[in-house]
Amino acid sequence: MKKPSSLYERHSETPAISEITDCYAGVVICTEDGLVIGQQRDDIPGIDNPGMVGTFGGALEAGETPQLAAWRELVEEETNLVRVATDFEPLLTDIAWRKLTGAWVVRHFFTIGITRKELNNLKVYEGQGWAIVSDDNPNVIPSWRPIFSAASERSRFVRT
pLDDT in tens, 13-36: 678 888 888 999 999 999 989 999
As to burial, measured by CB atoms within 10 angstroms (0-12 exposed, 13-18 middle, 19+ buried), residue 85 is: middle
**Cα separation of 124 and 45, whole Å?**
20
Task: Identify the band that residue 159 occupies on the pLDDT scale cut at 50, 70 and 90.
Answer: very low
Task: Identify the band that residue 82 occupies on the pLDDT scale cut at 50, 70 and 90.
Answer: low
Polymer length in residues for the chain: 160
Which domain covers residue 107, as residue numbers? 29-159
Q: Mean pLDDT throughout 107-121?
A: 92
Question: What CATH number is given to the structural domain containing 133?
Answer: 3.90.79.10
- Listed residue (135, 138, 134) closest to 52, CA to CA: 138
Instruction: Provide the greatest CA pair distance for the chain.
Output: 47
The answer as to whether 1 is a domain residue is no
Q: Mean pLDDT throughout 45-74?
A: 93
The answer as to whether 46 is a domain residue is yes
What is this structure's pTM?
A: 0.84
Give how far Cα 53 sits from Cα of 28, 62, 106, 146, Å. 11, 27, 19, 13
Task: Identify the band that residue 70 occupies on the pLDDT scale cut at 50, 70 and 90.
Answer: very high
Pair 70, 90: CB distance under 8 Å: no
Specify the DSSP class assigned to residue 52: -
Q: Does position 5 have pLDDT exceeding 80, yes or no?
A: no
Pair 139, 53: CB distance under 8 Å: yes
**Domain count within the chain:** 1
Rounded to the nearest integer, the mean pLDDT of the chain is 86
The answer as to whether 98 is a domain residue is yes
